[in-house]
Amino acid sequence: MGTFLLRRLMRSAVLIVVVTFLTYFLVSLTPGDAAYTLLGARATPEQLQALRHDMELDQPLVEQYWRWLSSALHGDFGRSLLTQQSTSEVLSQRLEPTVSLLAGTVLVSVALGCLFGVLAAVRGGWLGRLVDLVGQMGLAVPNFVLGLILIAVFAVNMRLFPVSGYIAFAEDPGLWIRSLVLPVCGLAFGVIGVMARQLKVSMEEVMQREFITAMRANGYPQRSIIYRHALRNAGLPVVANLGVIVVGMLSGSVLMESVFALPGLGSLLVQASAQADLPLVEGVVVVMTVIIVAVNIGVDLISAWLDPRVVRP
């Protein structure tokens, strides 16, 4: 178990370094650099040169990156070019809506995805076809389009939920949930379809395996065969895919935050990139990567718990 975790942590560290360096590299390609952004088009070349020297932008790229990385490891992500606010401060303000949205979506989609997947596999028939259909429709309707439809129906017409905006949990837990219902539904819909369909296919495959026949032949309780043995084995590929699903969800959350005007990391990214506020962009990318890494480690732990062959090969 120890070496297994260590290997996974190493992989995560590599991922973070690769992503941040790529972003840094991309940013360094920008025609106008940070100094240009700060001083504007009317600055003289001397002024630009001076500021570049102050900001150490004239140093080699790897060196700049190294300096950024070592201060980032100390929690210092630099300052916003425009507002001069500390990046980590801005990030921490923006973290809650995004994490709430993601956590809510993961919870809802895992619960409903498993439920529908199992029901579809066991009962088949119309439910099975429905799961197939939703699995496909959920992807055919991009989640931000679904978000728009949800707003039109449930917020504008029926006035059940707020049209947009976010209420912090500390402010009012009830309103916090209400402000999250529609974005979570919009983001979870497609994922539920994908997960249910995947679990259904996987269940159907597992139910044909020899050990299931052996268990049925030897009188194991039907309920235990389906919900203990088949589900556990069928869940393995679904859990393994959870990491990729959450990565997709993160992309979806950027659009969802834009649709519902949630002040999260996604909308910060869109805004910062429009203003070429690169320290902020870099900060958001780091936080998102850390979220992905955390989810992947969680997924690895669940896989290890479900399947002994992962840790005891």
Rounded CA-CA distance 60/267 in Å is: 31
Residue 14 or 172 having the CB closest to another protein = 14
| Structure tokens belonging to residue 300 | 């690895």
**Which window, 40-48, 54-62, 74-82, 197-205, contacts another protein (CB under 8 A)?**
197-205
Task: Kindly state whether residue 37 participates in binding another protein, applying the rule CB under 8 A.
Answer: no
Task: Kindly state whether residue 306 participates in binding another protein, applying the rule CB under 8 A.
Answer: yes
Pick out residues in 216-235 that bind another protein (CB under 8 A): 216-222, 224, 226, 229, 232-233
Pick out residues in 271-300 that bind another protein (CB under 8 A): 272-274, 276, 278, 281, 284-285, 288-289, 292, 296
Rounded CA-CA distance 287/87 in Å is: 11
Q: Which of 130, 148, 167, 168 binds another protein (CB under 8 A)?
A: 148
Task: Kindly state whether residue 139 participates in binding another protein, applying the rule CB under 8 A.
Answer: yes
Strand-pairing partners, residue 79, are 86
Task: Kindly state whether residue 247 participates in binding another protein, applying the rule CB under 8 A.
Answer: yes
Residue 180 or 256 having the CB closest to another protein = 256
Q: Which of 152, 160, 261, 294 binds another protein (CB under 8 A)?
A: 152
Query: Closest separation between CB of residue 173 and another protein, Å?
Result: 28
Task: Kindly state whether residue 81 participates in binding another protein, applying the rule CB under 8 A.
Answer: no
Give CA separation, 206 vs 213, 229, 272, in Å. 10, 9, 47
Task: Kindly state whether residue 90 participates in binding another protein, applying the rule CB under 8 A.
Answer: no
Residue 151 or 185 having the CB closest to another protein = 151
Give CA separation, 299 vs 17, 22, 102, 149, 259, in Å. 21, 25, 15, 32, 29
Which contacts (CB < 8 Å, 24+ apart) does range 5-10 have?
5/297, 5/300, 8/296, 8/297, 8/300, 9/297
Task: Kindly state whether residue 243 participates in binding another protein, applying the rule CB under 8 A.
Answer: yes
Task: Kindly state whether residue 122 participates in binding another protein, applying the rule CB under 8 A.
Answer: yes
Which residue from 108, 106, 147 is spatially nearest to 254, judged by alpha carbons? 147
Rounded CA-CA distance 291/54 in Å is: 33
Task: Kindly state whether residue 126 participates in binding another protein, applying the rule CB under 8 A.
Answer: no
Task: Kindly state whether residue 78 participates in binding another protein, applying the rule CB under 8 A.
Answer: no
Q: Which of 142, 162, 263, 298 binds another protein (CB under 8 A)?
A: 142
Task: Kindly state whether residue 105 participates in binding another protein, applying the rule CB under 8 A.
Answer: no
For residue 99, report the phi and psi dihedrals to the nearest 5 degrees: -65, -40
Rounded CA-CA distance 243/298 in Å is: 9
